[in-house]
Structure 1
Amino acid sequence: MATITFKGEPAHTVGELPKNNSKAPDFKLVNSDLSEKSLKDYKGQHVILNIFPSVDTGICATSVRNFNKEASELENTKVLCVSKDLPFAFSRFCAAEGLNNVETLSDFKTGQFGKDYGVTMADTPFSELLSRAVVVINKDGNVVYTEQVPEIAQEPNYKAALEAVANL
């Protein structure tokens, strides 16, 4: 269990992020067209998982915008924005913002992704939503960088995540 904060108050996740140099857990998430996507669909590509509670909050929306901007310059890399938002909310947001360099994937059906990656929040008003975290996975499916953002209201360290990809 990771201890983070929500508006300065202690909060906890159900587990820990995968360890660096470990095999990334596979997942089944729902794309905006309601099809299922798994990590296997990105085989041979580097993957940045931008994980957050909801695209309808300011910091979460900012992270999607920032990764969308940076993703256009990354070679052989996919940025996957993951939350429990319904795929329709993701589609609406990305269309309104003109975002096309990131993919949005939802864990709304089973919540298994949040459990496998240790990011489901166990308490706070955001209980059962995903915490804010970043996981970088190399083209071989191994975790090379993780960040569990310590305060839900903070942005992730974009620079560190992007440097992790640049160093692959």
Structure 2
Amino acid sequence: MTVTFKENPVTLKGTEVQKGEQAPDFTVLANDLSDVKLSDFNGKTRLISVVPSIDTGVCDEQTRRFNEEASKLDDVEIITISVDLPFAQRRWCAAAGVDNIQVTSDHRDLDFGMKYGVVIDELRLLARSIFIVDKNGTLQYKEVVPEVTNHPDYDQAIAAAKEMS
């Protein structure tokens, strides 16, 4: 898969996951530095929204959009992941009024990014992407946005999550 950042090709590191596979468990950090794992939400549909940095325009919009949609989705846990420090995420969430979703950090060891193949080697950021894991732990939806500065297909992801919940 070719991914670009500001139209320049970048290298994605990690293991690329495929639809239909068991979603790898991972550990990221909550804003209070506690561990958050995919398996913490077993039995629910999980929409994982991946952003390079929450403090940038498209990432801000993406996170706000899924925060709005969260209240309309039954039995779907939305987890946003970036490599921003948890302290910066907490500050951003408070300022933005984002409180319907889990905003987490993969800063510590890139566990999520490496297990899902979305670490941008040149920048130590995560490629913009969306993954949806069903209640049984199977990856049912995947979108890695080809140009990191572009938006994902929100409508398609939300429709897929609704279908699985």
TM > 0.5 fold call: yes
Partner of 1:140: 136
Offset from partner CA, 1:85-144 (integer Å, 9 cap, x none): 111111111111111111111111111211111000022xxx211110000001111100
- Aligned-residue sequence identity (percent) comes to 38
Give the counterpart letter for 1:13 in structure 2: L
Partner of 2:163: 167
Offset from partner CA, 1:56-95 (integer Å, 9 cap, x none): 1111111000001111100001110001111111111111
Indicate the SS of the match to 1:54. Answer: coil
Give the counterpart letter for 2:140 in structure 1: V
Output the CA distance in 2 between the equivalents of 1:137 and 1:50: 11
Q: Describe how 1:1-168 pairs up with structure 2 within 5 A.
A: 2-15=1-14, 17-123=16-122, 127-168=123-164
Q: What's the offset of the Cα at 1:9?
A: 1.6
Q: Is the 8 A contact 2:14 2:113 kept in 1?
A: no
Output the CA distance in 1 between the equivalents of 2:43 and 2:132: 14
Matched residue pairs, number? 164
TM-score normalised by the chain length of structure 1? 0.94
TM-score normalised by the chain length of structure 2? 0.95
Q: CA RMSD in A?
A: 1.1
Stretches of structure 2 that go unaligned for 5 or more consecutive residues are: none
Residues 167, 80 of structure 1: alpha-carbon distance in 2 compared, 3 angstrom cutoff: same
Stretches of structure 1 that go unaligned for 5 or more consecutive residues are: none
